[in-house]
Amino acid sequence: MKNKKVYLSIFFLEKIAPLSSELKQFFQSNITTHIYKKGTVLNESGQLCDSLYFIKKGMIRGYHVIEAKEITTWISIDNELVTSITGFFKNENARETMQTLEDTAVEYISYDNLQKALALFPEMNQIFTALLIEYYIHAENRTLLSRIPSAKGRFHYFLETGNKFLLNRTPHKYLASMLNIRPETFSRILKDFNRED
């Protein structure tokens, strides 16, 4: 008798709204798992991103290339959903590149299967909407953060909005990029911060 796999992403979705057993069964049959080595590019800017990933364990960043420089716009870790949102949800080519910053175990579902789920299971629409709102809020927070005038201000806002633990887990150059600060300046701000505190 075959063992049923346990998918963390299903638990994750259940916390948003209850899933019918049919929908759970659907996920059970359509989720794929994979482990990516640190540094792997999941999806390149300009390619179609047709997967929605759930990070079981690990870290992924999204970045854009502007004026020949990488600009990191988000970093996600364990128990978060990630995709190249603009590309995935409109089923168009992604504008950002996604890359793992640690060895990363993911569960994922394809665009087509997600659309199927939306068509077949009414409760899926509810979940999908809730997720979009959640993601919108993240985007709004990032927007606000990056408009704080001083580098120090952005750094502290970043810490105060629940990201402090990333200091010990993410290479600082990516945090610096996300905060629109040069690594050298980041290092200096961090020194001051550790001194005060």
Contact predicate 151/101, CB 8 Å: no
Under rule CB under 8 A, residue 120 binds a second copy: no
Report the residue from 39, 139, 169, 171 that binds a second copy according to the rule CB under 8 A. Answer: 139
The interface partner of residue 140, options being DNA, a second copy, none and the CB cut-off 5 to 8 Å by kind, is a second copy
DSSP state, residue 3: P
Give me the 80-119 binding string for DNA, x by CB under 7 A, dash otherwise.
----------------------------------------
Length of the chain: 197
Site for a second copy in 49-68 (CB under 8 A): 64, 66-67
- Min dist CB 170 to a second copy, Å, is 17
The interface partner of residue 147, options being a second copy, DNA, none and the CB cut-off 5 to 8 Å by kind, is a second copy
Given the complex with DNA, which of 81 and 181 has the nearer CB atom?
181
- Measured between alpha carbons, how far is 107 from 29 in angstroms, rounded to an integer? 12
- Measured between alpha carbons, how far is 163 from 140 in angstroms, rounded to an integer? 16
Residue 177 phi/psi, 5-degree rounding, is -60, -45
Long-range contacts of 91-96 (CB under 8 A, 24+ apart): 91/48, 91/50, 92/48, 93/45, 93/46, 93/47, 93/48, 93/49, 94/43, 94/44, 94/45, 94/46, 94/47, 94/48, 94/49, 95/45, 95/46, 95/64, 96/45, 96/62, 96/63, 96/64
Give me the 2-41 binding string for a second copy, x by CB under 8 A, dash otherwise.
----------------------------------------
Residues that bind DNA (CB under 7 A): 38, 149-152, 171-173, 180-188, 190-191
Residues that bind a second copy (CB under 8 A): 64, 66-67, 69, 71, 73, 85-86, 89-90, 125, 128-129, 132-133, 135-137, 139-140, 142-144, 146-149, 153, 157, 178, 180
